Amino acid sequence: MKDVVIYTTNYCPYCRQAEKFLTDKGVPFQQVDVTDDDAMREKLIELSGGRRTVPQIFIGGEAIGGYSDMMTLHQKGQLEPKLNG
């Protein structure tokens, strides 16, 4: 399974939903909290191609977007192949 990294803030409900979804599916992930870390937030914007919102989810280093983007991939049957590809 590819590495999953989620950039979050401590006040983001979509971050919690993304974490819960992955946990319920048994997908291990690394959480990077950017709540009070301006330098890490800037790095996130750079890594994600300019996206400023959280969560930002990366699978195997590929930015897939946020929670709703991940759920769209899941509903289309495209998330599992990304995780296992």
pLDDT of 53: 92
Domain that holds residue 14: 4-84
- Rounded CA-CA distance 33/1 in Å is 23
Q: How far is 52 from 55, CA to CA, in rounded Å? A: 9
Number of domains in the chain: 1
The predicted pLDDT at position 85 comes to: 79
* Residues whose CB is less than 8 angstroms from the CB of residue 34 and which lie 6 or more positions away in sequence, other chains included: 7, 8, 9, 40, 41, 44, 54
pLDDT score, position 76 = 97
The per-residue pLDDT for 54 is 95
* Residue 62: CATH number of its domain: 3.40.30.10
Averaged over successive runs of 10 residues, the pLDDT of the chain (85 residues) comes to: 95 97 96 94 91 94 96 96 91
d(CA 34, CA 53): 11
